């Protein structure tokens, strides 16, 4: 039995409009959505997508909408009723879906043309567009195939309904005819043809004629119904034929994509052949020049320039060189000349600190480099300084002292030297001690408080970036949740005997750059005798120092090479090499074995009496 439904859309809209009017007229009334939510709902503030992406999204939504219509059609088509009581709705829905499929097919063709126009040459975005097109074509093909299946089911149901209808009509006709023949009432007798006899005394109401008329009308109605079903079947067959045409077009489009992929594969093979040919030529060239020391020297010079010019980008957007001159424990009276010579040799990063006690000499070397024209402008050199432990509650004062000694208006990077506080009012400005000779440490100091002061320094313009030194993984994990500015750098002792991989990995994940000090294992180069270092140095014909300095380039770290000897300063640059995969694997294996055996070597660890969270210093 059909259920009557009332369309109450107008009533619902009037209620919604009345609610909105009341919300707008009430003073201080709370809105259903705030401004930010309305902007999000309207799509404001979102990143603008490309024309291709927008159109592809529209096609995707169109396919989803067509799929929803197809699901409704499938529900209607699969119903097995005695008579088809919803042919008009099914026909209209079939027509709409057919039009949608045709329109979507044309839109995908338009997307193909747009992609070819925007990306005439193969590139990454063009390849992504092709993949999206293939995905859309696949989805449209699935919808078309499902549509065809639904139409076939519909055809079968119509044929079954037609058979049931014909059987029903036949049975009704036979039953009515038999009933009339069995009637024996004289009231319903059928008069004979011709003029009735005068003696006839029968009342004839001719009920048989009425029944025959009703039966005829029923048959005519059924014939009309059967004609409509036939027309519906013809429409479905026409739609199936059109779907076949759409499938043919999709097959042609897929064939075009396949040909394009084949061309890309052919181009890739050509590139591989060219690379292999270039490699062979380079090997031939190397075999010719390997005996020529002058050419080898020039090649190493090119490598040296490469390392000098190579920079990394900090999370502030500023560039930091890959190698710099360290000044810790540099011999007093020689730092000025060391800085000056390093800048002449090509160094563009100078690492200093208030604690080192030689920032006056560093400043004198910088001043002389500007005077001689080695440095044309302040931006030609990257200067690092650090706030010492006696100033971690007075960070700006510590920075002002360093700037005065360096003769600069700002430093490029200012670091927290160690995460602790030494007595600011102790018996020494740098290393205050207690009566028993121990360092005068203020216990209970929270290094996060120091970082909050460092963050305020950025706004003063006295430093372009801030960072930390000697921070372990636990200390970083304590700091980061409270940091408004993420540290740009973590300067740590780092070399094959102390890889500190857990710190390096955390810093990379958080966008914090690693700066490695003591790359040779502190004074005297204790790592020169490490077996893998010697093996790699012999392989490349360089000194162990070159291997240890070059170790940091594939790790993506800046390395500090400390020396006051002009020849050594120059040698540290000229001997840099590019380690291959075998070299890196050998050094990593050496480091991993030391970690597993608990034999890592930390050469710099002042006697503060504080646990900084390093695994090797519990």
**Which residues carry out catalysis?**
356
Q: What residues contact 150, with CB distance under 8 A and at least 6 apart?
A: 70, 73, 74, 77
Residue count (the chain): 618
Q: Which of 594, 597, 575, 438 is nearest to 521 (CA)?
A: 594
Specify the 3-state DSSP secondary structure of 75.
helix
Tokens of 366: 């910088």
Q: Which of 463, 445, 446 is nearest to 454 (CA)?
A: 463
Q: Report DSSP state, residue 521.
A: S
Asked if residue 137 lies in contact with residue 254, where contact means CB atoms within 8 angstroms, the answer is yes
Q: Which helix (H) or strand (E) holds 559?
A: strand 558-562
Question: In the block, which residue shows the tokens 């740098």?
Answer: 430
Q: Which of 515, 460, 523 is nearest to 493 (CA)?
A: 515
Asked if residue 453 lies in contact with residue 395, where contact means CB atoms within 8 angstroms, the answer is yes
Q: Which of 338, 272, 271, 345 is nearest to 308 (CA)?
A: 345
Question: In the block, which residue shows the tokens 């909408």?
Answer: 65
Q: Which of 519, 548, 530 is nearest to 593 (CA)?
A: 530
**What is d(CA 450, CA 354) in angstroms, rounded to the nearest whole number?**
16
Asked if residue 350 lies in contact with residue 382, where contact means CB atoms within 8 angstroms, the answer is yes
**What is d(CA 270, CA 263) in angstroms, rounded to the nearest whole number?**
10
Q: How far is CA 582 from CA 56, 299, 546, 586, in A?
A: 46, 22, 16, 6
**What is d(CA 488, CA 319) in angstroms, rounded to the nearest whole number?**
11
**What is d(CA 415, CA 422) in angstroms, rounded to the nearest whole number?**
16
Asked if residue 450 lies in contact with residue 475, where contact means CB atoms within 8 angstroms, the answer is no
- Its sign, for the CA torsion 290, 292, 297, 298, is negative
Q: Which of 211, 232, 198, 240 is nearest to 87 (CA)?
A: 232
**What is d(CA 1, CA 448) in angstroms, rounded to the nearest whole number?**
76
**What is d(CA 548, CA 529) in angstroms, rounded to the nearest whole number?**
11
Q: Which of 489, 468, 463 is nearest to 479 (CA)?
A: 468
Q: What residues contact 592, with CB distance under 8 A and at least 6 apart?
A: none
**What is d(CA 16, CA 121) in angstroms, rounded to the nearest whole number?**
53
């Amino acid at each position: 039995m059909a259920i009557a439904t009332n369309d109450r859309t107008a009533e619902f809209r009037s209620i919604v409009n009345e609610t909105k009017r009341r919300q707008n007229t009430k003073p201080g009334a709370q809105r259903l959505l705030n401004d930010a939510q309305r902007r999000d709902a309207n799509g404001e503030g979102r990143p603008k997508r490309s024309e291709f992406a927008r159109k592809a999204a529209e096609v995707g939504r169109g396919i989803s909408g067509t799929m929803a219509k197809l699901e409704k059609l499938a529900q209607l088509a699969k119903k097995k009723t005695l008579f088809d009581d919803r042919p008009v709705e099914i026909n209209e829905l079939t027509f709409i879906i057919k039009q949608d499929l045709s329109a979507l097919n044309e839109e995908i063709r338009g997307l193909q043309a747009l992609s070819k126009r925007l990306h005439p040459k193969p590139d990454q975005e063009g390849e992504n567009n092709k993949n999206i097109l293939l995905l859309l074509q696949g989805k449209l093909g699935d919808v078309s195939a499902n549509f065809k299946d639904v139409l076939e089911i519909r055809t079968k149901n119509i044929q079954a309904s037609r058979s049931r209808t014909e059987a029903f009509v036949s049975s009704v006709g036979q039953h009515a005819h038999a009933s009339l023949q069995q009637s024996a009432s004289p009231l319903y007798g059928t008069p004979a043809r011709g003029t009735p006899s005068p003696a006839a005394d029968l009342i004839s109401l001719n009920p048989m004629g009425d029944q025959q008329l009703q039966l005829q009308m029923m048959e005519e109605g059924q014939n009309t119904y059967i004609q409509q079903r036939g027309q519906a079947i013809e429409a479905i067959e026409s739609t199936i034929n059109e779907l076949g045409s759409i499938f043919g077009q999709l097959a042609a489009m897929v064939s075009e994509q396949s040909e394009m992929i084949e061309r890309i594969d052919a181009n890739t093979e050509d590139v591989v052949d060219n690379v292999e040919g270039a490699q062979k030529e380079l090997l031939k060239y190397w075999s010719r020049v390997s005996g020529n020391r002058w050419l080898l020297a020039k090649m190493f010079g090119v490598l040296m320039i490469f390392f000098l010019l190579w920079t990394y980008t900090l999370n502030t957007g500023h560039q930091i060189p890959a190698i710099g001159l360290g000044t810790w424990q540099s011999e007093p009276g020689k730092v000025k000349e060391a800085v000056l010579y390093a800048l002449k040799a090509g160094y563009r990063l100078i690492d200093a600190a208030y604690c080192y006690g030689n920032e006056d000499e560093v400043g004198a070397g910088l001043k002389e480099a500007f005077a001689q024209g080695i440095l044309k402008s302040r931006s030609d050199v990257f200067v690092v300084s650090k706030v010492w432990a006696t100033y971690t509650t007075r960070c700006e004062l510590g920075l002002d002292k360093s700037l005065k000694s360096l003769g600069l208006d700002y430093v490029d990077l200012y670091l927290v030297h160690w995460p602790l506080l030494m007595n600011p009012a102790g018996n020494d400005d740098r290393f205050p001690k207690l009566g028993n000779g121990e360092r005068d440490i203020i216990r209970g100091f929270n290094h996060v408080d120091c970082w909050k002061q460092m963050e305020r320094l950025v706004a003063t313009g006295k430093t372009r970036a801030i960072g930390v030194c000697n921070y372990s993984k636990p200390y970083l994990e304590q700091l980061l949740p409270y940091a408004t500015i993420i540290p740009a750098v973590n300067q740590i002792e780092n070399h094959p005997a102390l890889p500190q991989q857990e710190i390096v990995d955390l810093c990379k994940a958080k966008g914090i750059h690693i700066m490695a000090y003591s790359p040779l294992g502190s004074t005297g180069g204790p790592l020169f005798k490490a077996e893998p270092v010697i093996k790699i140095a012999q392989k490349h014909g360089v000194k162990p120092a070159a291997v240890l300095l070059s170790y940091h380039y594939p790790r993506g770290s800046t390395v500090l090479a400390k020396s006051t000897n002009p020849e050594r300063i120059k040698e540290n640059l000229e001997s840099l090499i590019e380690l291959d995969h075998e070299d890196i694997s050998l050094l990593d294996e050496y480091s991993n074995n030391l970690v597993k055996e608990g034999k890592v070597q930390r050469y710099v660890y002042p006697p503060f009496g504080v646990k900084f969270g390093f695994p090797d210093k519990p």
